[in-house]
Amino acid sequence: MGKNPRVERPRPRFYEDGKDPWHIELVPPTLGNTGEPHPAWRCGIFVVHGIGSQTRAEIAAALRSGFDDAWSAIVEENAPPESQPDLPPPYVRDGWWANYEDVEKTFPEDWKLFEDDQKIFFRNLWKQRTENALGTMRWFLKQQFRLLSWRTFRELGPLTYILYLFLQIVSSSILLGLYIRRRDLVNGFLADIRMYADPRGVTERAIVQRIDARVADAFLQMIGLDREFRELPDKQCIRASGQPLRFDRVVWVAHSLGSVISYNVLSDLFHRAAEIERNGDEKQKAGVELFRNRLRRFVTLGSPLDKFAFLFRSAVRPWPKLPRWKLLKGGDRVKGREHPEWWINYYHALDPVSGALGHPHIKGGGHQFANPVNIHLRGPLKIPGAAHVAYWQDVDVLRFILGRTYGARYLPDRDLPKQNPLLLRFYSIFGLVVWAFLIIGSVYGIVFHAIPFLLGKGMAYLKG
């Protein structure tokens, strides 16, 4: 497709307020004189972050920040007709769960019932369960040994298995160093994975359930429904400029561990929707129909879902045994598939967390149903490891999210890219070679330099 001439919007004069509606409160309620509701008030994005000490809306803001570049790319490639309305960046809703270690914020209803002595007790209990660096380290070391099993050899093959053997030395050494020097990183990052993948006892199970519930409630509020799929009253809806917001077109974006949480929440929503379709009243059934129509895409970025399904099967709930096209009404046409596909997964060979998704446990119906659309980021040259956060700066990813949020009627853009099998094979081999070089080089440094150095220091200390 040839490039169209660049479409320049005139810069507003200083006294022309509202010419560039950079937030929803500046967007008019209708499109010109048509009386049609403005799509910016109806089309939005729901984003769920991954591990780490995330501040509220941190990832949502990173996503929103990239939209200006994606917008320019869409406009340059597809010069819009003059009749197309000026569209602002879409509303972004944050599915934030990172402060689960704060019992007051995580369980506000229960907190109100506690007496002062109970509040002190539960604060200390939560601290014991969520800030246990030693317990987290022991758990991770145990998982390293699990990777050495015959099952891993059978599923990954001998070459990848050999790399996993070397990886045990590297990862165990790094973990030990983090525990000695930076326990805050162990608690701030690795504890998230341990807690969600393998909750121990009723306390941690309650925390994990509440994480899922917070994400579910935030999404349902965005489309104007409660947990029973009944419409929310205006006073309980999201608000802007004093007006209740109910979005009728939503793209759900999830990064890293957030994709596992989002997958589980969607599984629960699908199961509850099916129960209501069998036994609910008419208003609830109408709410289920709204849910199936309003959620248009599920976009996973750097997702470890396949790894979770392999290592922590009980932490990943299977979806209903139905083809995905029966669960939601949106989707893109994909060559070779009869029905539209609404689950798009982006990954990169140098992102060690991510990968193409296709484990039978996460597809709902097993092998007879298709995988999500797996899309490798263009180009093999990313910084190893740092590729895990490259999605927020990738214009192809951002323009896909942006275009599907507003839809082809308001923001026509590319179809899904065709993935060349030979190129994907090259990316896979290239990634394997890079990781082999880095891992084996790290093992060499640890065995022949770091360990002798530490032993020498120890011997000198004993002699001195």
pLDDT one-digit tens code per residue, 364-389: 665 456 889 999 998 767 777 788 88
CA distances from 166 to 120, 144, 150, 440 (A): 45, 11, 16, 7
Inform me whether the pLDDT recorded for 402 exceeds 80.
yes
Check if the beta carbon of residue 348 is closer than 8 Å to that of residue 387. Answer: yes
**CA separation for the pair 332, 352 (Å, rounded):** 28
Confidence of residue 328 (pLDDT cuts 50, 70, 90): very high
- Per-residue CA distances from 257 to 35, 194, 400 (Å): 42, 11, 21
168 band by pLDDT with thresholds 50, 70 and 90: low
pLDDT for 464: 59
Q: For residue 135, is it left (φ>0), alpha (ψ between -120 and 50) or beta? A: alpha
Cβ-contact 247, 91 below 8 angstroms = yes
Of 263-277, 345-359, 438-452, which range is least confident?
438-452
Between the ranges 37-41, 79-83, 278-282, 438-442, where is the mean pLDDT highest?
A: 278-282
Which of the four pLDDT bands, split at 50, 70 and 90, describes residue 461? low
**DSSP conformational letter for 312:** -
- Token pair listed for 453: 């150095």
Instruction: Report pLDDT digits (tens) over 211-251.
Output: 999 999 999 999 999 999 999 999 999 998 888 999 999 99
Q: Is the model more confident about 157 or about 443?
A: 157
Residue 154, Cβ density class (10 Å: 0-12 exposed, 13-18 middle, ≥19 buried)? exposed
Please give the pLDDT value at position 88. 85
Task: Write down the H helix ranges in 87-242.
Answer: 103-106, 108-113, 116-130, 133-146, 150-156, 158-181, 183-185, 191-197, 201-222
**What pLDDT is recorded for position 458?**
62
Q: Measuring CA to CA, how many Å separate 192 from each of 22, 189, 355, 429, 445?
A: 34, 6, 20, 31, 29
pLDDT above 80: residue 281 = yes
Give CA separation, 209 vs 49, 165, 187, 215, in Å.
17, 34, 20, 10
Q: Find the distance separating the first CA and the last CA of the chain, reported in whole Å.
A: 74
The reported pLDDT for the residue numbered 177 is 72
Are 336 and 380 contacting, i.e. CB atoms less than 8 angstroms apart?
A: no
* pLDDT tier for residue 399 given thresholds of 50, 70 and 90: very high
Q: Outline where 223-281 has alpha helix (H).
A: 257-279
pLDDT exceeds cutoff 60 at 42: yes
pLDDT tens string 408-432: 888 888 888 888 888 888 777 777 7
Contacts of 367 (CB under 8 A, 6+ apart): 360
